[in-house]
Amino acid sequence: MHRAAGGGSFRLSRASPQLEAFLASLVSVAFHGIAYGMILYVISVGLSITMGLMGFTNLAHGVFAMAGGYILIVSLSRFGLPFPLALALAFVLVAAASVVLERLLYSRLYGAAELEQVLFTIGLIFMSVAVARLIFGTLQLPVVMPDYLKGQLSLFGRDFPAYRVFLIVFSATMIAALWFGIERTLWGAMVRAAVDNRAMAQSIGINTRRLFTVTFAIGSGLAGLGGALGADIVAIQPTYPFEQLVYFLIVVAVGGLGSLRGPFIAALLIGITDTACKYWLPEFGAFFIYVATIALLLWRPAGLLGKRA
């Protein structure tokens, strides 16, 4: 990873330094915004699918992301595992745990009133926050990145942190795989059918119980993976599920339940807007996101590309 000397090779021949600086900052904002948006999406897409598929309001989704983050941290620092293995573990372990949770607890509340699902998942959040604090304490846990991902990459005359480049590329791959899975595989077809009309899907013989479990596992595993990948951007701490809940819900609500593309657009929008605000209007920060969300939802209550309101 080398740094380009001086100002770099890309220059507009007659542009003023201010314009060049502005364009450069635009590129930075776009880059960081996309990185953040991708992470948000990877974490939240599972929520969109399970909520659209199972009709289950799972507010504890952030717990899976947090668990993935902790698994990554512990694998890297305590066990010294290689980074790819740690990421894979984050996915697999969280998915496995979610299967257990789903079979034992969540499945009792399918078809229950929304209030009960909300309360239940809030209870899960409280419990996991307490457990996280008990095990990991409240002090900062260092995320030990592998050396080949540290440093900067030089592209188009500007420096970009290598890890974030990796993040964008990797997330894009995962997302592509997911979309392929939903669009082209049998499992994907069953999911789409069940999201569109659950009763009908059951009547043509789709085993919705098993479908739910598998999909829930994949969605939660993705959340764990997203949490692990994004541990750099969204710090892993015991109160993670509380603090990030709003953002996941915004992505899903704005993007539209049960949709894949909608939350993607929503997540990118949020990521870029949030980063842009931090860069140019830091006093307003999160403020703008909430106002924008409220405005957007008033305009399109079902979300941008939602199938269900």
Partner 1 sequence: MKHAVGYNADARLRWTEWLPWVAALAVFFLLPDYLSLGARVLTYILFALSLDLILGYVGIITLGHAAFFGLGAYVTGILSAKLGLTDPMMQMLVSALAAGLLGLATGAVILRTHGLTQLMLTLAIAALCLEIANKATPLTGGADGLSGVVIAPILGLFKFDLYGKTAYLWCLGVLFVSWWLVRRLIYSPFGASLAGIRENSIRMHAIGAPVYARQLLVYTLSATLAGVAGALLTQTSQFVGLNVLGFEPSGELLVMLILGGVGRLYGAFVGPLVFLVAQDYLAKQFPEYWYFGIGLLLVIVVLFARGGILGISDAVIARLRGMA
Partner 2 sequence: MKLSDISALLATLVMVAALPAAAQTIKVGLISTYSGPGAAQGDQIDKGVKLYMKLNGDKLPPGVKLEIITRDDTGAVPDVAKRIAQELIVRDKVQILTGVVWTPNMAAIAPLTAEARVPFISMNAAGARVVGMSPYMTRISFTLCQSAYPLGLWAGKRYKKAYVAVSDFAPGHEAEGCFTRGFKESGGEILGAVRIPLANPDFVPFMQRIKDAKPDALFAFNPAGKQAAAMMKAYGDLNMDKANIKYLGTGDIVTDEELQGMGDIALGVTTVHHYSAAAERPANKAFVAAYKKEFGENLNPGFMVVGAWDAMDAIFSAIRAQNGKIDPDKTMEHWKTYKSANSPRGAISIDPETRDVINPEYLREVRKVGGKLANVEIEVISTAIKDPLKEFDKKK
For partner 2, the binding residues (CB under 8 A) are 3, 21, 24-25, 28-29, 32, 36, 133, 137-142, 144, 151-152, 159, 161, 163-164, 232-235, 237-239, 243, 275, 278-279, 282-283, 285-286
Q: How far is the CB of 279 from partner 2 (least distance, A)?
A: 5
Residue 16 contact among partner 2, partner 1, none, beta carbon within 5 to 8 Å by kind: none
Tell which positions 223-242 bind partner 1, by CB under 8 A: 242
Residue 140 site contact among partner 1, partner 2, none (CB < 5 to 8 Å, cut-off depends on kind): partner 2
3 state SS for the chain: CCCCCCCCCCCCCCCCHHHHHHHHHHHHHHHHHHHHHHHHHHHHHHHHHHHHHHCCCCCCHHHHHHHHHHHHHHHHHCCCCCHHHHHHHHHHHHHHHHHHHHHHCHHHHCCCCHHHHHHHHHHHHHHHHHHHHHHHCCCCCCCCCCHHHCCEEEECCEEEEHHHHHHHHHHHHHHHHHHHHHHHCHHHHHHHHHHHCHHHHHHCCCCHHHHHHHHHHHHHHHHHHHHHHHHHCCCCCCCHHHHHHHHHHHHHHHHCECCCHHHHHHHHHHHHHHHHHHHHCCCCCHHHHHHHHHHHHHHCCCCCCCCEC
- Residue 29 near which of partner 2, partner 1, none (CB within 5-8 Å, type-dependent): partner 2
Q: Is the Cβ of residue 72 or residue 195 nearer to partner 1 in the bound state?
A: 195
CB 88 → partner 1: shortest distance, Å?
29
The residue from 3, 19, 26, 116 that contacts partner 1 (CB under 8 A) is 116
Residues that bind partner 1 (CB under 8 A): 51, 57, 105, 108-109, 112-116, 118-120, 122-131, 133-134, 242, 245-246, 249-250, 252-253, 257, 283, 285-287, 290-291, 293-294, 297-298, 301-303, 308-309
